[in-house]
């Protein structure tokens, strides 16, 4: 005989007993889980924000320290900059220094005995201040160092010889001939102590175009320049030809004047 369970289904024990609460329990559990997740995310976010703020504060403090240290060392930076500028200036001046003692020594060796200089001036640029200069007009056309000479000698041939002697000075690229005139007297200019006793009075400029000079500043210096050798050679040839023509014409005029004086 088959047994029959007379207990109502809702009163029966075991897993098969139906729930009386329905889906409300699941809803409550889900809400609690969502709340826990939200609270956890909020806490983690707040912790991250706090860490970032602490990091920003630390970085600002480090920046302030580095800025204060940089300001304390700024004087040394300025000193180093000034030192480098001064070193560059001194180096430039040393490289562009012109050896005037050597030039004057060589001039004393090549100047003939019958030539007397009444004015001698040397400068590194046309605008550079110089005392005792002869004011030779050709000097303004020479950008580099030059030696201005005004003097006299016995005749025009001696002037030409003196020009050729000046070209033997080391560094002279050309000799400018401003002009030469014969004096009225018949004496020797070198023995009279000045150029009033007669002879040929001349104005010359010896150019040193290949010599470097300092950059333009308040002192009248000029920028370093290097003369074109071909241009220097052409200008030297023109100067020599003009010197020869003027010398020959002056000699002819002087030779024509001497018979008149003798008569």
pLDDT tens profile 247-258: 444 444 443 343
Q: Please say which residue of 66, 95, 124 terminates a domain.
A: 95
Say whether both 124 and 33 belong to one domain: no
CA neighbor of 138 nearest in space, from 177, 167, 103: 177
206 plus 229 within the same structural domain? yes
The answer to whether position 141 is within a domain reads yes
Of 184, 167, 183, nearest to 175 (Cα)? Answer: 167
- 202 and 223 assigned to the same domain: yes
Please give the C-alpha separations between residue 36 and each of 29, 43, 103, in angstroms, as whole numbers: 11, 11, 100
User: Does one domain contain both 124 and 216?
Assistant: yes
What are the beta bridge partners of residue 116?
A: 152
The predicted pLDDT at position 60 comes to 92
Do residues 126 and 79 both lie within one domain?
no
pLDDT band at 237 (very low <50, low <70, confident <90, very high): very low
What integer best gives the mean pLDDT of the chain?
74
Phi, psi at residue 116, to the nearest 5°?
-120, 130
Is residue 209 assigned to a domain?
yes
Q: What is the pLDDT of residues 175-217, one digit of tens each?
A: 988 888 876 554 444 443 456 656 888 999 999 988 776 554 4
**Contact residues for 155 (Cβ-Cβ < 8 A; gap 6+):** 182, 199, 200, 251, 254
How deeply is 240 buried, as exposed, middle or buried, from its count of CB atoms within 10 A (0-12, 13-18, 19+)?
middle
What's the pLDDT at 226? Answer: 34
Global pTM reads 0.46
Q: Note whether 126 and 219 are same-domain residues.
A: yes
Task: Answer for the pair 10, 17: CB distance below 8 angstroms, yes or no.
Answer: yes
Buried b (16+ CB within 10 A) or exposed e, 124-154: bbeebeeeebbebebbeebbbbbbbbbbbbb
- Longest Cα–Cα distance of the chain, Å, equals 190
Q: Is residue 107 part of a domain?
A: yes
Q: Order the strands of the 198-207 sheet from edge to edge.
A: 116-123, 146-153, 198-207, 174-186
Residue in 36, 59, 39, 37 with CA at minimum distance from that of residue 47: 39
CA distances from 230 to 37, 125, 171, 236, 238 (A): 93, 22, 15, 10, 12
The verdict on residue 140 lying in a domain is: yes
Taking residues 55-69, report their average pLDDT: 92
Last residue of one domain, picked from the residues 79, 95, 111:
95
Q: Is 49 exposed, middle or buried (0-12, 13-18, 19+ CB in 10 A)?
A: exposed
Please list, in sequence order, all residues whose beta carbon lies within 8 angstroms of the beta carbon of residue 251, skipping any fewer than 6 positions away.
Answer: 155, 156, 157
What mean pLDDT comes out for the span 72-101? 85
Residues 77 and 133 placed together within one structural domain of the fold: no
Q: Are residues 49 and 179 in the same domain?
A: no
- 13 belongs to a structural domain: no
Q: Does 35 share its domain with 150?
A: no
Does residue 11 lie in a domain region?
Answer: no
Are 36 and 134 in a shared domain?
A: no
The most confident of 8-17, 122-131, 152-161, by mean pLDDT: 152-161
Distance between CA 119 and CA 158 in Å, rounded?
18
Domain boundary among 48, 76, 95: 95
**pLDDT exceeds 90 at position 107:** yes
User: How many domains is the chain partitioned into structurally?
Assistant: 2
Q: Which residues contact 125 (CB under 8 A, 6 or more apart)?
A: 143, 144, 145, 213, 220, 221, 222
Domain that holds residue 178: 100-262
Residue 82 lies in a domain: yes
Do 213 and 145 form a contact (C-beta atoms < 8 A)?
yes
156 lies in the same domain as 212: yes
Q: Are both 112 and 222 inside the same structural domain?
A: yes
Q: How far apart are CA 191 and CA 202, in angstroms?
A: 17
**Is 48 inside any structural domain?**
yes
């Amino acid at each position: 005989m088959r047994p029959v369970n007379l207990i109502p289904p809702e009163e029966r024990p075991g897993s098969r007993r139906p729930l009386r609460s329905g889906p409300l329990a699941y809803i409550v559990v889900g809400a609690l889980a969502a709340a826990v997740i939200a609270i956890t995310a909020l806490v983690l976010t707040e912790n991250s924000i706090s860490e970032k703020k602490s990091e920003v504060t630390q970085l600002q403090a480090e920046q302030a320290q580095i800025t204060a240290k940089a300001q304390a060392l700024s004087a040394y930076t300025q000193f180093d900059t000034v030192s480098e500028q001064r070193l560059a200036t001194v180096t430039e001046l040393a490289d562009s220094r012109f050896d005037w003692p050597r030039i004057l020594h060589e001039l004393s060796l090549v100047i003939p005995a019958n030539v007397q200089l009444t004015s001698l001036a040397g400068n590194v640029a046309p605008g550079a201040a110089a005392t005792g200069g002869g004011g030779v007009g050709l000097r303004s056309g020479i950008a580099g160092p030059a030696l201005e000479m005004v003097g006299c000698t016995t005749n025009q041939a001696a002037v030409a010889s003196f020009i050729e002697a000046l070209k033997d000075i080391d560094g002279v690229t050309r000799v400018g001939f401003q002009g030469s005139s014969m004096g009225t007297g018949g004496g020797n200019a070198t023995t009279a102590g000045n150029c009033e006793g007669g002879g040929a009075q001349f104005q010359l400029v010896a150019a040193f175009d290949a010599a470097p000079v300092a950059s333009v500043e308040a002192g009248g210096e000029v920028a370093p320049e290097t003369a074109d050798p071909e241009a220097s050679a052409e200008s030297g040839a023109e100067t020599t030809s003009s010197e020869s023509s003027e010398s020959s014409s002056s000699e002819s005029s002087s030779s024509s004047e001497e018979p008149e004086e003798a008569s």
